[in-house]
Structure 1
Amino acid sequence: MQTAEDLTNEIPTTNNAVITAQYKLFSRSNLSVMFINKQATKDYDFVEDENRFNRVFGFDYRLASKDNTWVGKYFFHKSFSQNVNDKDISSGASTEYFSRNWNLRFGAVFVGENFRSDLGYIKRTDVFKISPLVQRTFWPKKGKIQKHSISVMPFFLWKPELNFKNSDYTIVTRWQAEFQNTSKLEFKMFNRYTHLYESFDPTSTDGAEPIPGDKNYYYTSYEVKYNSDQRNTFSYNLNPSIGKFYNGEKYSFQAQFTLRLQPYFSSSLQINYDNINLPNPYPDASVWLIGPKIDITFNKSLFWATFVQYSSQQNNFSINTRLQWRFAPLSDLFIVYNDNYFTENVFAPRFRSFNLKLTYWLNV
């Protein structure tokens, strides 16, 4: 893909390329190789040397035994950027064992401080993480519970450039039950540790006092989740949580309600609420995210979907509505309308867009 330049905003014309190949091994495993390249195709005074190109070359091996008892992923990636000659490696390994009663996993990932993938997404660099899992499953011979399990999932992160200082950990202890009617119940406990290197405001309140950086925070929270029988015409998911949050407390509630009138109508309502209480002089916040959705099937060829969302944190109200016409097998015409509004002080348009998309399957 070749992108155009935008000199006003100092955006260069860039070539973006991805090449990948995969080879099947054994019964269900495979080995992949990939090459990714992003490179400015002209010389510009405003482009720094280290941003003139970025390349990634890597190998991936996915393990899957014949009976699916063993699965795993192993990778080694190296990035190439101008004037960068070290600490540009990313690698990882994860092996998981499944049986009727046990699920065991050990995984580890390393990302060097200078590793870059401009055409991908890297959550953090300069990190070494391990993520084991131990889960024991029980199968009652009678009663309403089909199966239940208890598990422990710790996640530990270290910073190699700081003598492998432990920067974060989260230990998740969970009990989960699945009932005969397909409903589910889950209890979780989160034990967290965070070394906050810089001060920040988790509420994103303008002008607020951020919580202090260069400090250790230990906090524990509890969560309950219940999913009702999804086969019913009306179903729901409820997910409250409560506990410590850095140097304060956080109360959260998530819910989703779904109504299905098959085969023509489906609707859902998602509600997320977070209440953050921090000690003075740090800010408090109540954050709402509400999103209803409607799907209508007129016939086998015509579909209409509408999604509405309100975010108190972003002060935004948005509408996305899409009409889909399947005029031939695997061939569709989409008409999409997006509308966004400011909700702070005055309800006013933010931006709008109208999109037309056509896909056609060439069956030759």
Structure 2
Amino acid sequence: MRIGVVVNPIAGMGGRVGLKGTDGKVEEARARGAEQRAPGRAVEALAALRDAASDLTVLTAAGELGEAECAEAGLDAEVVYTPAGEGADAETTAEDTRTAVAAFLDHGVDLVLFVGGDGTAVDVAETITDADSDVPMLGVPAGVKIYSSVFGVTPRDAGRIAASFDRVAEREVNDIDEDAYRGGEVHTELKAVVRVPVADAVQSSKQVGGGTVESLAAGFAAEVDPDVTYVLGPGSTVGAIKRELGFEPSPLGVDVWRDGEVVVRDATESEILAALGDRNEVVVSPIGGQGFIFGRGNHQISPAVIRRSTVTVVASREKLDDVGVLRVDTDDDEVDESLQGWQKVRVGRYEHRLLKVV
């Protein structure tokens, strides 16, 4: 098995600092104190790949584009692409990703394993399509938004799938306009259809839309406790709760509310932590078609926030029928494990359903 590995080292940096994406916002993310997320997730996936593969050749790009992560994971990789001006302070670009993937194809890889979000998926998919290649691709989820159905559910899943897949199927690569997303509008666009390894742990594409949640929102609002600080996640379902509480939600952001007042709008991780009180409740809704309640689009609600809070999940019945199970991917194994098991989900004014977090 010959696998080409490319990492977008800045993917996901905008999440915890409230930017809802990193495209064109790297400097702003850094100014807000953002830390790199993708390299650590790459190492996690590559370690799983190393442990599961019996006969493996890894090709990669120099520095943080893959070489450094392969070395940290204990993989001996051949560098087949080095960006111009590569060095400690060099800034990589989407063109570097595309050039690295083209080099992998020239060297006859059996799979392109990439680390990033939907934007990186588009770069990889379009390069493979432009080369008229049938080489499959698989993503390690590291971006803020992940609407495409080409990613492993977790980094470890992606590594294990890359090592052992025996079938592929055509899956969709989607992307959205991040500027519109920051303004509260979600416009998905199909960018490519590519071959992806077949496995249960490859996530579905994100579905937009949902059922009526007015009674759910009214029931929640009727039970709020003035002594509790509520961390209200993004999405239309939680947005209905925010409106029932008497304020207009920030577009696709996390808002903090307590005792009739908005404490922070469109909060970053640090702002949420500063606003927490003695009793805190995080309110989230699963992503349609995927089931993620943490780790997709709400990185501001970090492990540090979750540790200090109870978790309430809300959703329409239709959404729960669609997702089947709930998923978490917080970058913290201990927190992920603590969230696993049966979760009560509010689906109406009084009604709840039990769904398993896996």
The TM-score normalised by the length of structure 1 is 0.29
The TM-score normalised by the length of structure 2 is 0.29
Q: Which has the larger radius of gyration?
A: 1
